[in-house]
Structure 1
Amino acid sequence: MPDVLHLIWQPDVTDDFVQPGHFFLWMETVQPAKPRKPGRHPRQRYAKSLLIWLNEILDRSFAPGFCAAQSLYLPSAEGGPLPSPELLSETELPEQSEWAAWKVDCFRLPSAPIQTINELHYRLLVQGGDVRPGQDFLFWYFFTQSLRSLLLKDQYVPAMRCRRSKDGSAYAFHPGWEFLSDAYDRLLVEAAECMPPAAAPGYEAASILRHCAEVMLHQAIGRAQLTQAALKKLQFSFLPEACVAPRRAPWLAATDPTVAEQWTKWRRRVAGSGGTRSFQLALQVHEPAAEAPEHWPLEFLAWSRRDPSLRIPLAEYWSLPDREREPLGREFGPTFETDLLTDLGQMARIYPALWDALDTARPTGMVLSLEEAFAFLTETSWILEDAGFRVIVPAWWTPQGRRRAKLRMRSSPAGKKASAAAKRADLSLDELLEFRYELTLGGETVAPEEWARLVEAKTPLVQFRGQWVVLDKDRMAEMLAFWKKEGEAGENLDVQAMLHRTADEDDVFEIDPTDALAAMLDKLRDHSRLKPIDDPPGLRAQLRDYQKRGVAWLAFLESLKLSGCLADDMGLGKTIQVIARLLHERSQAGRPAPTLLVAPTSVLGNWRKEIERFAPQLQTLVHHGAERCKNPQAFAAAALDQDVVIVSYALALRDSALLSAVRWHRLVLDEAQNIKNPEAKQTKAILKLDAGSRLALTGTPVENRLLDLWSIFNFLNPGYLGRQAAFRKHYETPIQRDHDPARSAQLRRLVEPFILRRVKTDPAIIKDLPDKVENKQYCNLSREQASLYEAVVRDVEKQLEASEGIQRQGLMLSTLMRLKQICNHPAQFLQDDSPFDPQRSHKLERLTDMLGDVLAEGESALVFTQFTEIGERLERHLKTHLDCQTYYLHGGTSRQRREQMIARFQDPQTPPAVFVLSLKAGGVGITLTRANHVFHFDRWWNPAVEDQASDRAFRIGQTRNVFVHKFLTLGTLEERIDQMIEDKKRMAGAIVGSDESWLAQLDNDAFKKLIALNRTTILDD
């Protein structure tokens, strides 16, 4: 279990306008240590160890002075501090706890804590290792990064606190700054609702959040080094220069109260110019008249908030007679004219050029020069809009209407550009990728000579063919040089290079929309344009519409010699889409070379069973176990007789030389996040396998960090996302650390042609799914489980012949229970407190992986087991390995605790969670519709009882499709009993008994066959 990094905020107590405060880091360890002194926290990393860790992860050299013991109030019980929620399961919570002070070694974050917290969060994500962030750290990360966005938008104003002497003869004031925006107010409310108590122990959430925000703002302003000259330029001359460093400024004496009065009036005007008025002041930029191209009118308008269709130019308003102006005055408010002049004054403080327009009592607007108009459009307009004013710009200035300079790519096979053959609709892929280039502006072709004249223009705003356009002359000059080099000779690219060229919508390259290549690109970027296939011949199932489209997408990518990632949500049928693709290509081109499928050990049996179920005509070889073929020639010969060869990730590394001896038609990776580490030997071995096409299956292409995505793409289309170091520099760091939206959009456009992602919440998917989707998860026994299972079977076979009557039935029922325990996990059967590791049970491994996918999708789940002794270990394991909220309900749970857990689980404001329930205690009488996934870890051999448990989620109040997953171990009694139940249901719809006693009615031979182990299903990697 990893250690937990905590972050708290503590204010200092001073008489300043804003009391200083600091962020403190401390680390909670798993194993308690003997405290050095009484009152010290027993599970903490002490100062020296904490400082070493921070220096390593942040690659800095912090001085020891940053570490010191702090007194923290923490939940406590029985004379000691409670472990944090990350280290404590729901079942371990004491009935009562109290807050008590404990000495903890903390690291005080230096200046610029917002950036440090952001970097530390990024480093934990990338290289956290045995340390994970606590709830308090994650909360402060969210809050400080939200403040960062407000700072970047300049949503703050000067502030002042004033106080008068007792006799009223003197004043003192303390200058500062404050946030002023609706977004800030909403942030405080939202953050207060979700703030964990440990984030600032002992303080009320709303006040401590406001205090933290003010300190962060004052630190940012102090680092900006504003001067009195800057304040005067902003029309804040009535404020002293002490505003630039309010934390260092004392209370300043003043005999003249006008400073405070000026600020109060100004503050009231700023706050009052928001949404309380019935009108909004607007500025509209007009194009110049033809006879005066240098004169750009800037017009003042009043815009009704109640009726957005009502907007009136002030020139028109002032020209109206008084009697006609009165109705408009009532619409815009009784103090409209006064408020209007106030707002114009406030606008002039931001854009001082407007002061000249306010020399008259009835201002209507002003005229800008060409250079002033360009400066207003590029710089001033967005500042005014952020301040709450409306700015109306010409349509050609908007992102949608702007005419952009582009290099248009047109398919033009060499030697055919002048012939009709170049216009064929059936050009081959190689012909499509032979390009010619044209210079275009706003979609219109421009001759090189005319283009050169535009580049030589003296102003960035010019009239071109009757319309105003904005020119980036440096960029246009580069495009002209490129055209001179490549335009006439043409260029050959592959599909990946072409996608790179057109990845950024604002970049210089575009595809001719009438070209056949454009249709191909549209299909790559918009999967809905693909025509769904029909159910392929031989498929024993009916594909849903979205699955048919998924198979068509796989076929389309492979026709372009590209590889893709099928990233559908869990439960939407990635497996059956792959099987359908295998049958689909056989029906079109005959039997190809074999497909190699690499999957986690825990799902090898599931793949084999699904192929047998849906496409039994496909020849399948599961390559595993000690008896597997190890001779390269013999293996190659055997593989070529198969349609599908299935192998585990572990054997893909161990038998890499064997697998490399075959040229595979297709290489499929199930749960492709297993290659997320590009440096792992397993990943490198898989990359060396030779295959005509590649396919990745995963519900989580980005599990922890963007490098996961790079590693998967390095498998699919090597080199497409560049080298690892370049990807980290250009995408991972700007996106994950700096939250760069432009880089995010560019990366999304690069990868979207190769990822097909459908989620269960899509309307088209919801209507295509039944309300409850059931599927069985087949798992193999590990070698340890098989050994225990076989020993029990041998022992029972000896006792069975000597038993009869009640004794015989009791032996049979106890045997069923013991074998089911072994199928769950060896530790459950042995009862020896041995490690509850997924490596010892493929069933536990599969459950952990699937629940990870569920939580990653923001959904919750129920896990049922009939064994109380394993429920607690399941809950502890899931909480530790998935870092999620868990609950455990069993027969010994008190009524009060039961109701508390159900209420917390059902609360939509809480994070997604996993609820582990014993079948008898949780199978009836409760509603848990927050979950839409139900897992039966072990089976109760009665369909009615299992359905009753599943219906805890599938009942009135459930608004989503419910997915029920039933776990079975192959080659054991679980597989055979399930088959017996299915046979009975098919034959007569019979309902078996309410428990497992019906199995004890079998004769000895039938019972021996029932429990016998099929050794061919044992996996030994």
Structure 2
Amino acid sequence: MAEPLPALQREGWQIDVDRDFSFRLYEPEPDWLLQLQEGEGRDWFGVALDVDVEGERLPLLPLLVAFLQDPRAGWTPQKFAALDDHAPLLLRDESRDRWLRLPAGRLKPVLAVLRELFTATWLDAGGRLWLPRPQALMLDELLHLPQLRFDGDAPPGLLAGVAEVAPPQGLNAQLRGYQQQGLNWLQFLRTHGFGGVLADDMGLGKTLQTLAHILLEKESGRMDRPCLVVAPTSLMFNWRREARRYAPALRVLVLQGQDRRLRHHEIRDHDLVLTTYPLLARDHEALARHEYHLLILDEAQHIKNSRSQAAQKVSQLKARHRLCLSGTPMENHLGEFWSLMNFLMPGYLGSEAEFRQRYRKPIEQQGDQDAREQLLRRIRPFLLRRTKAEVATELPPRTDLIRSVALEGAQRELYETLRLSMDQRLREEIAARGLARSHIVVLDALLKLRQVCCDPRLLKLEEAARVSESAKLQLLMDLLPEMLEEGRRILLFSQFTSMLELIEERLQQEGMRYLKLTGESRDREALVERFQRGDVPLFLISLKAGGTGLNLTAADTVIHYDPWWNPAVEQQATDRAHRIGQDKPVFVYKLLTEGTVEQKIAEMQEQKRALADALLAESGSIAGWSEDELRALFAPA
């Protein structure tokens, strides 16, 4: 019916089809009609795709959706890719016992979009597909297909892209080009009721772009409710200071400290309300009494675990618009990014189980590029990511250096003894309980080995107490005097506050001046100002307390005393110095012990970085961790 009969007709044969012959094969007219319709309340968008068959208009979407959902079709990405552009694809219209001959070349781009939407489709009786408004953005590709005619009463402005907006008049800053683009994007999200993740590199001014957005909302008269910012405790003074500096017209309320409950009644009288993640649970009842114009999560990776109290509490707050700020929206795996998107637009990426099955497992474990491209298309409109290399070309160069040292004597013997015992324990645990249920043992083993590498005194074991030497601490003390003599201004990071105390002892013995910032520090702002003024050239900082939210551009040298497998954490710390406002070349030193777990962690960091790059930069490959890779950490050098 598709090929031999038409060929005979072209040769002059007359073809008669008996009326009782039930099989019919038709070819639609060349132009297909795409219609868009905005639903009531603007939360839904209706889509219809019709074809003309012998003068009759036929809705095509029900046929395509039924085909994609038919288990007998066994539709796979491989079969999809193998479609020949010159071969027909047959779809059956069950109600009329007809078949359509649809060219694969035309069908492919339509199926490419539907294949990502059909698990969450709503078809009405007329064959119209109703999509939640954010998913309508995925139809942008269809609008530009030459074989589709656009019709309907809904303007295509939704899909037209991001428009230029004028910055607010009261902003005390000149926005850089990429920051203006960020403001345009934030306004685009607000216009269409979308949530989004502003994922610029640390130091590119996410706070400034957000303040400009809030101030523009206030000046336009749209902001008749307060905006709520939830941030780490360490960022409270930074938000307060930046608001005072860049947007003095905003009335700011900081809910922090013992007397904060006395000010809960003032929330409605302010434009910008600041609170912290730790206070969410304690103050949730008071915060939930109000509705907000904009709900902003700074360092939004704090809700990367969707089951955490912070994620659940903040999701219960009511706001017109939601926004996440994070230079590291995904630190370990794709499930963390799902948690952020689920806060912003619940259900957009499906349930956590659906997301795991459809995206996370194929991408992380199988390296499925097709699934990766699908995910990128879905999140691209709602994720804005710029790196310093791309937009901050005026930044001075950054030089990354590794300084390694070998463990010797008693410290090496302690490390090997511990490694062997931990390796055996790990094998037994995995054999008995499986890898998924052995995380506590794995983390404990890694912690002990890392502590030995830093300084045996960190390890609370009797045999460790007898080891007095620390090769890495000695390496540090060899480097610091020369650096300080050269006039370097140094940030020294460690994840272990107890390690900072040991370093502090040596600095005091050598008569070196320093500042120290940990979770116990009271006046963070005063410490930062002293360093920025040049009062003291060395700043000891715990990674947890000072890895984010600090502007320390007076520094030109960053030292990471102890590495961890997540490169995003180290990157955030480095960006305390290498950020907008820095006018000196920055040197970043990573101290490693040779032939140890530290060296292997450094190698594995590159794989971890590839996972984040694949999502944020749309490049690189994605691979999941295996049991063999984990065991390699405990193997001999």
Q: What is the TM-score normalised by the length of structure 2? A: 0.52
How many Å separate the matches in 1 of 2:60 and 2:164?
A: 47
Contact 1:701–1:709 under 8 Å retained in 2: yes
- Counterpart of 1:676 in structure 2: which amino acid? K
2:238 equivalent to 1:610: no
Q: Deviations over 1:784-817 (max 9, x none)?
A: xxxxxxxxxxxxxxxxxxxxxxxxxxxxxxxxxx
Amino acid in the other structure paired with 2:51: L
* Alignment match, 2:302: 674
8 Å CA contact 1:594, 1:664 repeated in 2:
yes
How far apart are 1:568 and its partner, in Å? Answer: 1.6
Q: Map Cα deviations across residues 928-981 of structure 1 (whole Å, 9 max, x no partner).
A: xxx998469xxxxxx9xx96xx34569xxxxxxxxxxxxxxxxxxxxxxxxxxx
> Does 1:574 pair with 2:184?
no
Per the alignment, residue 470 of structure 1 pairs with 87
* 1:470 partner letter: A
Moved more, 510-519 or 720-729: 510-519
Aligned match for 2:560, one of 863, 868, 875 = 875
* Structure 2 residue matching 1:472: 3-state secondary structure: strand
Does residue 536 in structure 1 map to residue 168 in structure 2?
yes
Amino acid in structure 1 at the alignment position of 2:90? K
Which position in structure 2 is the counterpart of 1:557?
A: 189
Local SS of the residue matching 1:840: coil
**1:621 aligns to 2:245 (yes or no):** no
Deviations, residues 290-327 of structure 1 (Å, cap 9, x unaligned):
978999xxxxxxxxxxxxxxxxxxxxxxxxxxxxxxxx
**One-letter amino acid of the counterpart of residue 438, structure 1:** D
Query: What SS is found at the alignment partner of 2:203?
Result: coil
8 Å CA contact 1:532, 1:552 repeated in 2: yes
Alignment of 1:681-692 (within 5 A): 681-692=309-320
Match of 1:793 in 2: none
Aligned length: 402
Hey, what's the Cα distance between the residues in 1 that align with 2:198 and 2:62? 47
- C-alpha separation in 1, matches of 2:38 and 2:169: 38
CA–CA distance in 2 between the matches of 1:640 and 1:851? 27
CA distance in 1, matches of 2:520, 2:127: 63
User: Which amino acid is the alignment partner of residue 698 of structure 1?
Assistant: S
Letter in 1 for 2:89: D
Cα distance between partner residues in 2 of 1:648 and 1:717: 22
Aligned to 1:522: 159
Using the alignment, how far apart are the partners of 2:353 and 2:281 within structure 1? 25
Match of 1:770 in 2: 394
In 2, Cα distance between equivalents of 1:511 and 1:847 = 55
State the SS of the aligned residue for 1:655. Answer: helix
Q: In structure 2, what is the Cα distance between the partners aligned to 1:584 and 1:545?
A: 17
1:738 and 1:616, CA in 2 relative to 1: closer, same or farther beyond 3 A?
same
Given the alignment of the two structures, is residue 496 of structure 1 paired with residue 134 of structure 2, yes or no? yes
Using the TM superposition, give the Cα deviation of residue 537 of structure 1 relative to its aligned residue in structure 2, in angstroms: 1.1
Asked if the contact 1:410–1:511 (Cα under 8 Å) also holds between the matched residues in 2, the reply is no
* Structure 2 segments unaligned to the other structure (5+ residues): 12-27, 67-83, 101-117, 399-490, 507-515, 525-540, 589-637
Tell me how far apart the structure 1 counterparts of residues 567 and 37 of structure 2 sit (CA, whole Å).
Answer: 55
Letter in 1 for 2:196: G
Q: What is the Cα deviation at residue 451 of structure 1?
A: 12
Q: Evaluate the alpha carbon distance shift between residue 740 and residue 662 of structure 1 in structure 2; reply closer, same or farther with a 3 A threshold.
A: same
The Cα shift of 1:844 comes to 3.3
| Residue equivalent to 1:545 | 177
What does residue range 799-838 of structure 1 map to in structure 2 within 5 Å? 828=501, 831=504, 838=518
SS in 2 for 1:761: helix
Q: 1:606 and 1:844, CA in 2 relative to 1: closer, same or farther beyond 3 A?
A: farther
Deviations 1:379-422 (A, max 9, x none): xxxxxxxxxxxxxxxxxxxxxxxx999985413579xxxxxxxx
Aligned to 1:643: 271
Counterpart CA distance in 2 for 1:451 and 1:532 is 35
> % of aligned pairs identical?
28
Partner residue of 2:386?
758
1:558 alignment partner AA: R
Distance 1:644 1:884, change over 3 A: closer
Residue equivalent to 2:58:
448
Shift of 1:489: 6.8
AA of the residue aligned to 2:181 = R
Matched, 1:585 2:265: no
| Map of 1:79 onto structure 2 | none
* TM-aligned CA distance change 1:480 to 1:516, over 3 Å: farther
* Contact 1:437–1:486, Cα closer than 8 Å, also in 2: no
- Contact residue 567 and residue 699 of structure 1 kept, 8 A: yes
Indicate the residue corresponding to 1:695 in structure 2: 323
Answer yes or no: is the 8 Å Cα contact 1:438–1:445 preserved in 2: no
Secondary structure in 1 matching 2:170: coil
Distance in 2 (alpha carbons) for counterparts of 1:294 and 1:563: 57
- One-letter amino acid matched to 2:560: E
| 2:283 aligned to which of 624, 640, 655 | 655
CA shift, 1:753, in A, is 1.6
Q: C-alpha deviations, 1:487-537, integer Å up to 9, x for none?
A: 74746543135356x49979x9x98546675733534xxxxx423222211
d(CA) in 2 for partners of 1:830, 1:760 = 32
Alignment partners' CA distance in 2, 1:663 and 1:449:
42
Distance 2:58 2:243 in 1: 60
| Larger Rg, first or second structure (1 or 2) | 1
- Alignment counterpart, residue 433 of structure 1, candidates 35, 42, 45: 45
Relative distance call for 1:773 and 1:601 in structure 2 (3 A) is farther
The change in CA–CA distance for 1:677 and 1:567 in structure 2 (over 3 A counts) is: same
Check conservation: 2:90, 2:99, Cα contact below 8 A: no
Q: Deviations over 1:525-578 (max 9, x none)?
A: xxxx42322221100011122222221221221222221111122222111111
On the 8 A contact 1:407/1:438 being kept in 2, the answer is: yes
| SS at structure 2 position matched to 1:570 | coil
Deviation string, structure 1 residues 239-267 (Cα, Å, up to 9, x no partner): xxxxxxxxxxxxxxxxxxxxxxxxxxxxx
Q: State the one-letter code of the partner of 1:875.
A: H
Task: Show CA shifts across 1:635-656 (max 9, x none).
Answer: 1x30111111111111112222
1:111-132 CA-to-partner distances (Å, cap 9, x unmatched) read: xxxxxxxxxxxxxxxxxxxxxx
SS at match of 1:839: coil
Question: TM-score of the superposition, structure 1-length normalised?
Answer: 0.34
> How far, CA to CA, are the matches of 2:315 and 2:300 in structure 1?
12
Larger relative contact order (C-alpha < 8 A, sep ≥ 6)?
A: 2
Mark the CA change 1:554 to 1:851 in structure 2 (over 3 Å): closer, same or farther.
Answer: closer
Q: Distance in 1 between matches of 2:290 and 2:247?
A: 24
1:455-506 per-residue CA deviation (whole Å, 9 max, x = no partner) reads 9xxxxxxxxxxx99532224777999999x8474746543135356x49979
Aligned equivalent of 1:410: 35
Aligned residue type for 1:530: V
1:103 maps to none
The match for 2:369 among 706, 720, 741 is: 741
- Decide whether aligned partners of structure 1 residues 404 and 619 sit closer, same or farther in structure 2, where only a CA change above 3 A counts: farther
Take 2:542 and 2:190, find their aligned partners in 1: how far apart are those partners? 35
Which residues of 2 match residues 227-266 of structure 1 at below 5 A?
Answer: none
Distance 1:952 1:468 in 2: 54
Residues 733 and 541 of structure 1: CA distance in aligned 2, closer, same or farther (over 3 Å): same
RMSD over aligned CA atoms reads: 5.4
What CA deviation, in whole Å up to 9, does each residue of 1:134-180 have, x standing for no partner? xxxxxxxxxxxxxxxxxxxxxxxxxxxxxxxxxxxxxxxxxxxxxxx
Distance 1:850 1:538, change over 3 A: same
1:625, CA displacement in angstroms? 1.1
Shift of the 561–934 alpha-carbon distance from structure 1 to 2, 3 Å rule, reads closer
In structure 1, the gaps of 5 or more residues are: 1-286, 296-402, 415-427, 456-466, 524-528, 775-819, 853-860, 866-870, 887-911, 915-930, 937-942, 955-1021
For residue 839 of structure 1, what is the aligned residue in structure 2?
519
Aligned equivalent of 1:732: 360
